[in-house]
Structure 1
Amino acid sequence: MLPAVSLTSETAFLLQTYRRTVATWMDVFDHNQTYELSIPRLTLTSPLLFHCICAFTARHLSLSQSGRNSSWTPIAQHHYGEALRLLISLLNSPSAQDHALTATILLSSYEVISSLGQEHRRHFLGAMMLIKSHGITARSIGIDRANFWIYVRHEIGVALATEKPLILNPDEWNVQWEEGETREDMLGNHILWILARAIGLVYGRSKEAKDIELEQRKRKELIDETYKWRHELPDTFVWVKYGEPDEEGFKRVYFAVSAAAAAMFWYHIVHILLLAEPTVQDQTHDSEIQYHAMQIANIAISDIPDSVRVFSSHGLYYAAKRIDGVARKARIWNLLHDIETQLGYHTRTAVKRLQGLVETGN
């Protein structure tokens, strides 16, 4: 089949850069490397995916390294406009809508790193409608499965930022977990399912409408579920601390598998949510809250891949919010700041919220 797109030196560079950078972000919990291996195979025969990938990569380049690559901004905007035009045309066509969900996920990712607000919400909701209309769930296979879990991660990021439950209820995910599972990506998605349910419990209804005793029981049940998840983990989830503690008491850790580092990061976030959000549930749990906040920071300061760093930005807010000591909080603010300046992933809003909490004494 002849290519449906024409390459230039610039677009060839964007396609190559995509595989080295933002594609790895998408595959953080996907050992099949769908976005690194399967999606690039489609780009030369799909102008829609071609422009989506060029837009996403160029936007990443325009935002990363402290804005020194601002010349990529008009290039990103050009490819974004072309991709949007092609996607609208495809969605308005009665024929098969091949790659529509993948394109929507890529454009949503473009908007997530840019923090574009309404545009992101539009594609976010569009992705959910495509997922539901095509019957895509956690049990789907291939690209559909990869897209489902990337959509879930986007939802989790928005839910944590807005302190609201996920739009796609975890009860509708159609999950199935294998006993004795050893794949780190599968286990990572499992903890995300627990995390989504924790978010729904913590931020689900108004305080007045809650049965406090029932809520406390459900919080304990979810915590017990996370302990069970951890108890059954394979040895690849064991971390090793190395080096000397820094001035704030943080110490680097090493994981043999990146997905295991990301999964353990979210394991600790689940505990902070259930113990301390939206308010601390019991003052006797303070040492436990501090333990989980410290472990989150230990993972975040370590030599972890960019794919883990980017996804960790949502959870770091909660670690900084609950950790004791302004110096420790400031260290986590700096980690968030570095994610934006080095990788171009928007974290400014989270840092401002954290600084505001300190200024008001919360």
Structure 2
Amino acid sequence: MTKFSVNARTTAVVELDDELAPVVVGHADQNLRLLESLLAADVHVRGGVVTIKGSPSEVSLATRAFKELESMARRGHELSLDSVRRAVGIVDRGEKSASDVLGSGIITHRGKTVRAKTEGQKEYVDAIDRFNVVFGVGPAGTGKTFLAMAKAVAALKDKQVERIILTRPAVEAGENLGFLPGTLHEKIDPYLRPLHDAMREMLEPDLIPKLMETGVVEVAPLAYMRGRTLNNAFIILDEAQNTTPAQMKMFLTRLGFGSKMVITGDASQVDLPRGQKSGLAVAREVLRGVPGIAFPSLTSSDVVRNPLVTAIVEAYDDFDAYEEGIEQGKNKVKNFKDA
């Protein structure tokens, strides 16, 4: 248990658990060095005793950061530099507990635990637990598909569902897969490869073919969902921004008893023909407020790839906003001239 001793207004002494202190400071003190750069307070560590000096607000932030990191370590969370950086950010915003956001595991495979790594991802994962249909919308790298896959595999292992169904529209082939060479599997494999890759992170590679042969795991293009009722299944529709409104309605109405649907997409990466409405965009307008359906949003702050990806996403968002502003200005001028 963490003990606190506050001397005057500008000094705090935090006593970490002796077994957890090495985890908090990191191998060769790498976490400690990062904390010293992130926190404005002066931090000195000797054994499990952390002495923090600075202004009241600086000392408060640093104290809470060490407490949260110790709590994460106690829950078995690997305190990488990335997780330490994210934990300090969550503590700084002060809205939620970093250990609650980052410390809850979804599934463990080969000693690696899949967890939410941001507040947005935590809200997304919680929504999947609470709602039957969840739309996870956000830019590339926010873990939409990966986390949905983790929840699906966890549900299968816990016998909450009997099968997993993974699908996405084969937009590049115009859904006309008959014109492509090879068997059905060879035709659709390039479009479903991201789903296969995510699945291999959760299951033994040699087990996946067996699950697919028995129908426990099904990976198929969206066109193959037509005319079916999907009971007792965890269904993931990936790249949903590339569905048409009719395809989206067809997919959503496949929902059967005991099933859960997660629809993922990035509204900024629509590959449909110009002028064609996205089924994802229409669904967000039509279904908001419908009980049992959730629309958690992920943003550039939830990107968990290379930090440069976050900068790229934000730069494109700014550019799109600028272009939209110019287009709106042109329309106003045109309307004024036509008046």
Provide the TM-score with structure 1 as the length reference. 0.29
- Higher helix proportion (structure 1 or 2): 1
The structure with the larger Rg is: 2
**If each structure's strand is expressed as a fraction of its own residues, which one has the higher value?**
2
